[in-house]
Amino acid sequence: MAHEPTPGAAAEPAPEHDPQLESARLKERLYAAITMIAVAIGLAGAEHTTAPAAAASVGATSVGLWLATLVADAQAHRVVHGSTGGVRELRRLLFVSSPLLLSAVGPLILIGAAGLGLMDLDTALLTSAGVNVAGLFAWGCSGALRMGGGTVAALVGGAVDAAIGTLVALVKAAGH
């Protein structure tokens, strides 16, 4: 039996239909992609990196970012609203921040393949970075198309997003 909203109460949109929630979630996905590019490039450039060490770095980065985001968002909510927000706010935080954890899946699969001897570790790490750059390109194309641009605008938007994301990742990787 479907849950019916209380008469006179505003229906709460499903998370996948709330533009502000989706925007916040996409922001986290893009930030996570840029971070994973930086981690992968940094690990690929490091001498004597092993698959287990690379997996630990990727996992720790992902979990660390996720936990930092949860703490920062919860603290910001308490300061701005004067309350914890309860279960509803916690569900929102978990939904929005989950891409920070999911960003590690692809790199971990490729690192695992390297650990099994199916590919070189540097190849796995650079492939992971390349996949994330391609993702940034795709999101840039999607954004340009969504704003009414044609094919050329989409390709330019994708190239700009991929280039900016890569530059930011390279700066982050150089700093570590």
Mean pLDDT, residues 39-48 = 91
Q: How far apart are CA 18 and CA 95, in angstroms?
A: 12
Q: How far apart are CA 126 and CA 110, in angstroms?
A: 10
**Residue 89 pLDDT level (bands cut at 50, 70, 90):** confident
Q: How far apart are CA 56 and CA 158, in angstroms?
A: 31
CA distances from 141 to 74, 137, 144, 145, 150 (A): 33, 6, 5, 6, 10
Q: 2-32, pLDDT tens digit by residue?
A: 444 444 444 555 555 788 989 999 999 999 9
User: Per-residue pLDDT for 97 more than 80?
Assistant: yes
pLDDT of residue 124: 97
User: Per-residue pLDDT for 151 more than 70?
Assistant: yes
User: Per-residue pLDDT for 80 more than 60?
Assistant: yes
Map tokens 């996570």 to a residue.
32
Q: 114-147, pLDDT tens digit by residue?
A: 999 999 999 999 999 999 999 999 999 999 999 9
φ, ψ of residue 46 in degrees (nearest 5): -85, 145
Residue, of 175 and 116, whose pLDDT is higher: 116
Q: What percent of the chain shows pLDDT beyond 70?
A: 90
Give the start-to-end residue ranges of the domains of the chain: 21-128+168-174
Residue 21: burial class (beta carbons within 10 Å; 0-12, 13-18, 19+): middle
Q: 24-42, pLDDT tens digit by residue?
A: 999 999 999 999 999 999 9
The answer for residues whose C-beta is within 8 angstroms of residue 44's C-beta and 6 or more apart is 121, 122, 125, 126, 129
